[in-house]
Structure 1
Amino acid sequence: MKRRRRTTAIVAAGVVAFALLGTGAVFAGAATGTSDPSPRAIVAVSPTPTITTPPPRPVPGAATAASRVRTCSVAGLATDPRLANFQAQVTNATTGEVLFDRGGTTPSRTASVLKVLTSAAALSVLGPDYRATTTVARGAEPGSVVLVGGGDLTLSRLPSGQESAYAGAPHLDTLAAQTVAAWQADPATAGTPISSLVLDSSMFGDPGWEPSWNRKELRDGYMPEITALQVDGDRDNPARSTSARSGDPIGRAGAAFADALADAGAPGVTVTRGTAPAGAAALASVQSQPVSTLIQQALIVSDNALAEMLARLTAVKAGAGNTFGALQKATVDGLAPYGIDTAGIVIADGSGLSDNNAVPPSYLTRLFIKINAREGNLGVIYDGLPVAGKTGSLSYSDRFSGVNAAADGAVFAKTGWIDTGYTLAGIIHSADGTPLTFAIYALGDVSDNAKTALDTITTGFFRCGNNLSNY
């Protein structure tokens, strides 16, 4: 029994010892057996860490589309010294993307490419069906009639049945025959002669010659004085597009109408200048071709007289005035409905002959996008553009010849030339089928060979199409 109790005691002591070990030996003195217990050692317990979620990484709202890398370069052609001070812009006419640009937003002189703006403004203000009217009215004095110019520079002195440089133009002999018939049919004047002719050109104001124009343009046959009364654009030869001008278009028209009156049965009239009485009754009238036809005749061979006629009629109809000074407001306001920014545009005339005109190539590329789409009445302009190797001023032997003939039939563009620059702007049906619009200027010290350089880079645009690189 003692042995059992002893064994039980030993087991109990072991349990106590195990329990003490399980407490982690809180009392350190017990572990060392010293009689002076040490202070209690406090075990620091780390707080449970707080788990935080990092903010999400920013994600683009939409994936960025990759930009196309275009590889067809015309950079070498753009440095051709024949282009002198070169400016250009080319756009994809479908997307509006600018493919090529060299100073494209800088307004500069345009030469005859300005006729495109003149035409667009005329379509906006006058409309495609407007016709200029030349009238004969009764004069203030007995026996007098007044020939009132209505701004029709196409009125022809050639006999009816003969075509002038302006196909379909009205004729003075028709007007004279109407005048004499109406005079004789009126009981108040029947049996009395027409004895005097008054010439009224007051619809357009002076001067007739824009001060910045070189006077040689008149002698060389490219520009007349701009008057509301004249015949055949004041040409010496009515049937030729380029023919010297007289410098007195009103006098030439008056003499030709006096002859026509004589042929119609009213000979011997005296000719003076003046204005028709207010409210004077009309005896006869003839009308020009509609604006749509006049625009196409002006663009195809770059006729300066027609362009100035359209610009001045636009200014008069818009109420801007009747002089060169009215053209800035009239033309820019006339372009406003097309919705293209006109900032920086300067309009000195309607033909582009002045160095003072200024239009950025970028305006032209945007306008030609609308022309290509035939927005509104702008298809009239498209149909009047010369075509490379085919029609008008792009069909001459020095345009798009040799290797540049590759673009024949694919470039629809307005040409321009003045002493200080050559220009070309329009639409290209490129080799890959992409429609392009373009405007290129070669300005400064240039010579006739600039035309070939313009054709060469235009052919480069044609070959590249939508793969055209800006580098």
Structure 2
Amino acid sequence: MLAALAAVLVVGLAAAGVAVVQPGPVAGWLGEAPATPDGAADPSEPPPPPVLTAAGTAAPAPTPDGIRAALTPLINGSILGNEVNISVVDPAGGEVLYEAGQETPTVPASTTKLVTAATVLAARGPAYRIATRVVAGANPGEVVIVGAGDPTLAVNGTGWYPGAGRLDRLAGQVKTALGGTRPTKVIVDGSLFPGPELEPAWDSDIPTGGFGAVITALMTDGARINPKDPGRAQARYADPDIAAGRLFAEQLGLPASAVRKGQAPAGATGTASPAAGASPGAGPPAAGAELGRVESPPVIRLVEFMLENSDNVVGEALARQVALARNKPASFEGAAAAMDEVVAELGLPANEIDVFDGSGLSRSNRITPSGLTDLLTLAAKGSRPELGDLFPGLPVGAWSGSLSERFDRSDGAEPTTAGAGAVRAKTGTLSGVHAIAGMVTTVDGRLLTFAVLANKVPDSVSIDRARLELDRIAAALAACGCR
């Protein structure tokens, strides 16, 4: 099945000479290798149907008049309120097909994660991995676990994120490196993230509502208390760094009382060889010597985790990687400044993209619809190939992530089923704010970029109803040749 999915053409821009062919989400893709099934595939089994509509090599382009005719009936008198800002672009030729408030700064909610994805892919590169290290403390038996901002770090093999680095393996390295020295204390160094731990414009229920957490440099499983919980909204640790330190101490056979916050010795290095261990009679490792390290999945997989299920904690961690790559403080403010810097370097309209966090939870964020379609068009054209790596993580209509249960219904009004497999997009939701931005393939096979941001949705409109209205707009683009 994975091999079949890997053959699916996700999005293409034949006119521009570019195709993005990576599938997603596939848990084993560029992470841990998928298990090989026992036995050969049944040759009588028909191949699975494609889950995405392929973009044709010579698909006719829609016209502005055609797009206007398809969308106007849905937008006039929409229940989404009087501030629905839209941009639709044909990225092959760069033609703007529909505009309505396209340059209006709008609260983007989680469509902000498209900016986070693009900037971290540009700043760190798709292959970069975040290393969590343990170094020797100032006193014999002290070990310092140094948080580097990996939100996927797992305790063992049952973590939330596939292919994550693991504390049990890190503890094994440390025991080997210490040789005959018994660990007695775990010091948690989270100084890489200077704080604050919450963005000032976040809603008050963010750290306790199950979709976010306080942001620290060391945490396990995105700060989830129970990573085995399959739901989307899980309880999170109030102090993720201390919780991670205690879980690490447990792997070393130490009690929770052996854990405290602190910092690694000045000049801590990575010169020790944890695989070799301490030689007999050599004494304890020097203060600051590296005792072990584990690494996150590559950035391309972290971006996929973030986009597929709108993981807010991973979004904040990736924003801080942009800050670190640009030698700025790994804080909300430093990350925002670094992201703005990279946006400008990419040639995107910096005055149309103004972010204060990486997740989109901040109500201070402002992005225009045309800013999002410009970003998506740049990613699709191939002039910055690393940006194309944001596409595998984008949810697909009626198939994956936050769109897995959308684009599959009709209630007698405008149906949404045309968007199934044809829409690949990031969604966004805050109270009163609903958004969707991504790619859609028309019935003729033409690929379009689009963004719909609604900022003043009445309180009387339910979340489900607002999402259905957005889906109808995207489905209308999928259903028509719009010529």
Aligned residue among 284, 309, 320 for 1:312: 320
Structure 1: tracts of 5 or more residues without a match: 1-66, 185-189
SS in 1 for 2:207: helix
TM-score (norm 2): 0.77
Shift of 1:82: 2.1
1:360/1:97 CA distance change after superposition, 3 Å: same
Shift of 1:285: 0.4
Asked if the contact 1:400/1:455 (under 8 Å) is kept, the reply is no
Shift of 1:211: 1.5
1:80/1:235 CA distance change after superposition, 3 Å: farther
Asked if the contact 1:364/1:425 (under 8 Å) is kept, the reply is yes
Shift of 1:199: 0.6
Q: 1:77 aligned to 2:74?
A: yes
User: Corresponding residue for 1:107?
Assistant: 105
User: Corresponding residue for 2:236?
Assistant: 245
Q: 1:261 aligned to 2:261?
A: no
Shift of 1:357: 0.4
User: Corresponding residue for 1:348?
Assistant: 356
Shift of 1:386: 0.6
User: Corresponding residue for 2:171?
Assistant: 176
Shift of 1:268: 8.1
Shift of 1:336: 2.7
User: Corresponding residue for 1:463?
Assistant: 479
Aligned Cα root-mean-square deviation (Å): 1.8
Q: 1:378 aligned to 2:387?
A: yes
Aligned residue among 122, 132, 135 for 1:137: 135
1:295 maps to amino acid? V
Aligned residue among 433, 448, 457 for 1:421: 433
Aligned residue among 328, 332, 337 for 1:324: 332
Asked if the contact 1:155/1:172 (under 8 Å) is kept, the reply is yes
User: Corresponding residue for 1:58?
Assistant: none
SS in 2 for 1:106: coil
Asked if the contact 1:344/1:359 (under 8 Å) is kept, the reply is yes
SS in 2 for 1:206: coil
Length, aligned pairs only: 388
Distance 1:405 1:182 in 2: 58
1:215/1:156 CA distance change after superposition, 3 Å: farther
Shift of 1:353: 0.6
User: Residues 347-366 of structure 1 correspond to what in structure 2 (within 5 A)?
Assistant: 347-366=355-374
Aligned residue among 208, 231, 253 for 2:220: 231
SS in 2 for 1:377: helix
Distance 1:230 1:328 in 2: 22
Q: Deviations over 1:443-466 (max 9, x none)?
A: 123431110000011111222345
1:380 maps to amino acid? D
Asked if the contact 2:132/2:150 (under 8 Å) is kept, the reply is yes
1:122 maps to amino acid? V
1:351/1:267 CA distance change after superposition, 3 Å: closer
Asked if the contact 2:434/2:457 (under 8 Å) is kept, the reply is no
User: Corresponding residue for 1:444?
Assistant: 456
Asked if the contact 1:195/1:268 (under 8 Å) is kept, the reply is no
Q: Deviations over 1:12-32 (max 9, x none)?
A: xxxxxxxxxxxxxxxxxxxxx
User: Corresponding residue for 1:278?
Assistant: 266
Asked if the contact 2:109/2:428 (under 8 Å) is kept, the reply is yes
Q: Deviations over 1:267-293 (max 9, x none)?
A: 787111110001211000000000011
Structure 2: tracts of 5 or more residues without a match: 1-61, 268-287
Higher relative helix content: 1
Shift of 1:317: 1.8
Distance 1:317 1:105 in 2: 30
Shift of 1:70: 2.6
Asked if the contact 1:372/1:427 (under 8 Å) is kept, the reply is no
TM-score (norm 1): 0.79
Distance 1:225 1:380 in 2: 28
Shift of 1:68: 6.6
Shift of 1:121: 0.3
Q: Deviations over 1:27-68 (max 9, x none)?
A: xxxxxxxxxxxxxxxxxxxxxxxxxxxxxxxxxxxxxxxx97
Distance 1:353 1:371 in 2: 24
Shift of 1:236: 1.7
1:97/1:400 CA distance change after superposition, 3 Å: farther
1:79 maps to amino acid? N
1:271 maps to amino acid? V
Q: 1:90 aligned to 2:85?
A: no
Give 1 or 2 for the bigger CA radius of gyration. Answer: 1
SS in 1 for 2:70: coil
Q: Deviations over 1:333-365 (max 9, x none)?
A: 122332222114221100001111001100111
SS in 2 for 1:216: coil
1:420/1:205 CA distance change after superposition, 3 Å: farther
Q: 1:433 aligned to 2:440?
A: no
2:169 maps to amino acid? T
Distance 2:213 2:391 in 1: 26
Q: Deviations over 1:165-214 (max 9, x none)?
A: 21111111111111011101xxxxx2x32111111000111111112112
Shift of 1:301: 0.6
